[in-house]
Chains A and B, each alone.
Chain A
Amino acid sequence: MSLNVSAISSLFSSDSQADKVVPPTGFTATLTLFSAAAMSFLAVFALALSLATGRLAERWGAELARTSTIRISAPEGQLLAQTEAALRVLETTKGVLSARALTAEEQQALLEPWFGPDLPLEALPIPQLIEVIEEGDGFDAEGLRLRLSAEAPGAVVDDHTRWCRPLVRAATRLRMLGLFSILLIGLATAAMITLAANAALAANTQVISVLRLVGARDSYISSAFERRFTLRALSGAAVGVGLGCLAVFLLPSAQATGGFLTGLGFQGWHWLWPAIIPPLTALVAFAATRTAARRTLGNMR
């Protein structure tokens, strides 16, 4: 089946005569509008999910993979000495850009979501955290562990990748799932519009037969149905996308502590992505209707 530009552009040129000869197609009009709107609404969410998980995967991948944490758990009298020893080791470690011990205020801020703002940090045996920023290919974690075990026996290296990798993998899979959902939605839309077009064509067999009798070409008959179903799918999809975007906009806004769910949505120019759904739906409707019309016409002389 060929989808040439002139065939598609002819959809938007007014041909009231061709529209007039095909009678109104009743319930199939409502079915096409509704299914296009519903599917586009779902497509907006699938797109939002895909983009949000994509952002998440990128952020985790880029930020967490470049940082590590060293936790020093030592008796109270040795904590400062082991921290300084660990910092000295880090200064001479290849692949470490910088390393610094978190201040008491920063450690308190990290614990605040769990214990509240009034936590008496000094009264608790809280380990000291050292934030390490990596450079190049990063450091050799095993080598660093060995060196630290000699200089600061209470130091534990957490290079983040241990728990970061599965999360990034999960986010990437969620993104693929979102894209796969969009594909399924497109196929389901095509199936529904094909069914509606077939029903309309079957209901108009007599009309098509009369049109052939008086000398109508297949392209003339087919285009009357194509235009009708394509424009209906386009308008239905526009409504669905509008409602979908509104629903996404009304979701709670993303917050640092909000986690994944509040980050589901579009950011910046990503809000333009849903705009491609109505023309894509129209294209799917055009192809589905053209295939159905050509098949029906092929059975008539």
Chain B
Amino acid sequence: MIELENVGYSYGGGELLSDISLKLQSGSFHFLTGPSGAGKTTMLKLCYGALIPTAGHVRLFEADVRDLERDDVAMVRRRVGVVHQDCQFLDHLTVADNIALPLMVSGGDLLAESANLKELTNWVGLTNRANAYPPELSGGERQRAALARAVIMSPDVILADEPTGNVDWEMSQRLLRLLVELNRMGKTIMIATHDLALIRAAKAHVQARVLRISNRRLQLAGADL
């Protein structure tokens, strides 16, 4: 699905990631951890084609990211749902429209999908906030809306970058349950987080692989968690 082979990434003369190899198998659940600035976000960006590696190969759905045309990158993004810490909403659209955005840009029939949209909005607990605008939402509501937007196209992979970074413990557990539920539906999940308590809590519900970026390299973590 997503494969990184001896990947390195340098920027501004400095090497951020080095010799990273990883295969995200279908239906797997990964945590990516490490200190702030370790390169978690950079690695996630490599996984959805937002960055091109300076060394090694990144294969997205069996195509080398260097060979992808711009339209191909757009098609990959429809198969990979991304949840950012800052959510990245369009503030002039309502929550419902923001959730439906991937459908809109892919030329989907919003009318035909309205039942799914309502169900999804209900699933993330935002039915009564559907007509609100993003700046009116709390941190937890924003993250749930971002998750709903990430899954509306029923992607194969969901990448979440610090999804619980701006929410309290109770809300982070709620978000985690939603992600676990998606994984049980067969979705491949990778969550970048430095919240070890979240990882420990997740292990009670799902078999997750925990990876750590340390000194620019990827390591398998677990014993200390």
Contacts and interface: CB of A to CB of B under 8 A. Distances in A.
Contact of A215 (B51, B52, B77, B93): B77
Contacts of B53: none
B51 A213 contact: no
Nearest to B101: A214
Interface in B60-89: 70-71, 73-75, 77-78, 82, 84, 88-89
Contacts of B77: 212-215
Contacts of A210: 88-90, 101
Closest 10 CB pairs of A and B: A216-B105, A215-B77, A215-B78, A214-B102, A23-B92, A17-B104, A217-B74, A210-B88, A215-B74, A214-B101
Interface residues of B, number: 27
Given A17-B104, A209-B88, A220-B105, 11 more contacts: A20-B93, A21-B90, A21-B101, A211-B105, A212-B77, A213-B50, A213-B77, A214-B102, A214-B105, A214-B149, A301-B73
A18 B97 CA distance: 12
A157 interface: no
Interface residues of A, number: 22
Per DSSP, chain A at the interface is helix
B49 interface: yes
Interface of A: 17-18, 20-21, 23-24, 206-207, 209-220, 297, 301
Nearest to A211: B105
Contacts of B137: none
16 contacts: A21-B93, A21-B104, A210-B88, A213-B50, A214-B77, A214-B105, A215-B78, A215-B102, A215-B106, A215-B153, A216-B106, A217-B74, A218-B70, A219-B71, A297-B70, A301-B50
